[in-house]
A and B are shown apart, each in its own frame.
Chain A
Amino acid sequence: MRQTALRIASAVVIFAALLLLWIAVVKLFKIPVFMLPTPDRVLHAAIERFTSLMTSLWITGVAAAGGIVAAVVVGVLIALVFAQSRWIRRMFYPYTILLQTVPIVAIAPLILMWVGAGLFSVTLIAFIICLAPIIANTTQGLISVERNLVDLFVMNNASQAQILLKLRLPHAMPSLFTGIRISSGIAVIGAITAELFAGSARVGVGGIGYAIQYASAQLQTDYLFALVAAATALGFTFFFVVMFLEWYFLHKWHESARTPEED
Chain B
Amino acid sequence: MSDATQAKADPVTRTPAIVLEHVSKQYGQGATILDNLSATIPPGEFVSIIGPSGCGKSTLLKLVAGLSPITSGKIVMERLTRVNARRITSFIFQDPTLLPWRTVRANVALGLELEHTNRASRNEIVDAMLALVGLADVAGMYPRELSGGMKMRVSIARALASRPRVLLLDEPFAALDEITRDRMNEELLRLREQHAWTVLFVTHSVAEAVFLSNRILVLAAHPGRLAHDIAVPLPWPRTAETRDSTEFDAVVSRVSRTLREVQGQ
Contacts and interface: CB of A to CB of B under 8 A. Distances in A.
A49 interface: no
A153 B67 contact: no
Interface stretch (B49-57, B96-104, B230-238): B96-104
B67 A173 contact: no
B91 A151 contact: yes
Interface stretch (B108-116, B173-181, B190-198, B201-209): B108-116
Contacts of A51: none
B115 A152 contact: no
Interface residues of B, number: 24
Contacts of B143: 253
A262 B217 CA distance: 48
Interface stretch (B1-9, B82-90, B119-127): B82-90
A253 B100 contact: yes
B93 A152 contact: yes
B170 to A, nearest CB: 9
B254 interface: no
A170 B215 CA distance: 41
Given A156-B162, A170-B99, A170-B101, A151 B87 contact: no
B110 A149 contact: no
B99 A167 contact: yes
Nearest to B87: A157
Contacts of B89: 155
B65 interface: yes
B100 A254 contact: yes
B95 interface: yes
A11 interface: no
Interface of B: 62, 65, 67, 86-87, 89-91, 93, 95, 97, 99-102, 110-111, 113-115, 142-144, 162
Interface of A: 146, 148-149, 151-158, 162, 166-167, 170-171, 173, 252-255
6 contacts: A152-B93, A153-B114, A154-B67, A157-B87, A253-B142, A254-B101
